[in-house]
Each structure stands twice: as structure tokens, then as C-alpha cells.
Amino acid sequence: MNLYEHTIIARQDTSPSEIKQLTDKYSKIVEKNEGEIVKTENWGLINLSYLIKKNKKGSYIHFKIKGKGNVIDELEKNEAIDKKLLRYLTVRVKKFDLETNYFAKKEGEEKYDKKESYKN
Amino acid sequence: MPKRQSGNKKNKQSNFAKLSIFQPNKYKFKKSCPLSIKGAPPVDYKNIRLLKKYMSENGKILPSRITNVSQKKQRELSLSIKRARNLALL
């Protein structure tokens, strides 16, 4: 069993309900292949740093998956076809960092960073 | 560690100053790696704020001879910067 971090970017014009559908769809694929989703994070709409298929923004969904390699194969096979998605990225990690969410809410993030800089 | 205290931009300037050809005091320029110290944040492709510190304004990766990052951490940095680029975060 391996640990994976999986991120997908959906188009900017997907509605919140559609994003939920997407997360459900891919969580089901993971469960079908005997994988386990440890955590899902919704990072919300983020400005892309460059245009992807004429999109300026994208909504990011982040999964932390525990499973075998065939889970990722199946996921990426489906995501490559999906027209609602712009990109996907899978990274194998040795350990999950479940505490810090770098894309939580903007206000909270700023406060957190200020505190950090004081410490340094 | 004192250099990290100053803000992001100031840090960069001081690093570029190091490029001056005339280095009067060699010992002054020896600095430890800012990412290997105890309590340093882990290098991660999601931590954009950290990654941006080690990139030029044009989005290029800064060489380790300027930033004083150790070889091991520089490899991690460049990998995670490339991952972040793929996700259009940088």
C-alpha cells in the first residue's frame, strides 16, 4: 500500500454542485479499486498563474489516498478523458501532512503567516 | 539565521549583494543552509509562499550559490517548484 496526494483542477465555470459531483465521482473510483480516501480538501477558486485552455481560474480539489498503484492508473485514465478538468497531479509521499492546509482561508492564512514570521 | 528575519525582498537584495566580485571577508559569507536548520518548514509543492522565496521575479529557480541552500534541499526545492508549476500555482 502506498500513500498518494492527488490534486485535480476543474474549469473555472464549474458550479459548487458540479464540484461535489466530481469529488463523489472520483472517490467512488478510488473505493472501487480497494483504495481508501484519508482526506479531501477543497481549495476553492484559485487564480492560475498562466492560462490553461483559456481559463484564468481553476477550482482545486485535493485528495489524500491510500491504496495500490492500480487506483492511480484508473483515476488518471478517467481524468484524462474528463472535459471538466484542466490538470491533475499525483505525488507519492511517505507520510501525510494532515494538519497544515496551505490553501485554507485567506484571512486565516495571513494571520498564520504573520505569527510564523514573528517566530523567525 | 539573522538574514531570515528581514522580509522577503530584503533577503533577496542581500543575497545579490553577495555576488560582488570583491569579497573582503571570506568568513562573513559562509552561511548555513536556511532549510536545514531545526524548525525549518518542510519543502512542499503546496507551500507556495516558501517556494517563491527561492525563485527570481521572472519565475526562475535561484541557484543555490546565491541562496545558500544545501544540495539535498536544493534538489527537493527544484522538484517541488516544478510540481507547483505544473499545477499553475507558480
CB A36 within 8 A of CB A67: yes
Confidence check on the interface: ipTM exceeds 0.90, yes or no: no
CB contact under 8 A, B88 and A58: yes
pTM, two decimal places: 0.72
Cell of B42: 518542510
pLDDT tens digit string along B58-89? 889 999 888 888 899 999 999 999 999 999 88
Write the pLDDT tens digit of every residue in A14-53: 888 999 998 999 999 989 988 888 888 888 888 999 999 9
Most B CBs within 10 A among A48, A60, A120, hence the mutation to make, goes to: A120
Contact A120 B45 (CB under 8 A): no
Contact between A60 and A43 under an 8 Å Cβ cutoff? The reply is yes
Q: List residues bridging with A67 in a β-sheet.
A: A2
Assigned C-alpha cell, B78: 527544484
Q: What is the largest CA-CA distance in chain B?
A: 43
Residue position matching grid coordinates 481553476: A58
Instruction: Assign A6 to helix, strand or coil.
Output: strand
Interface of A with B in 31-50 (CB under 8 A): 46, 48-50
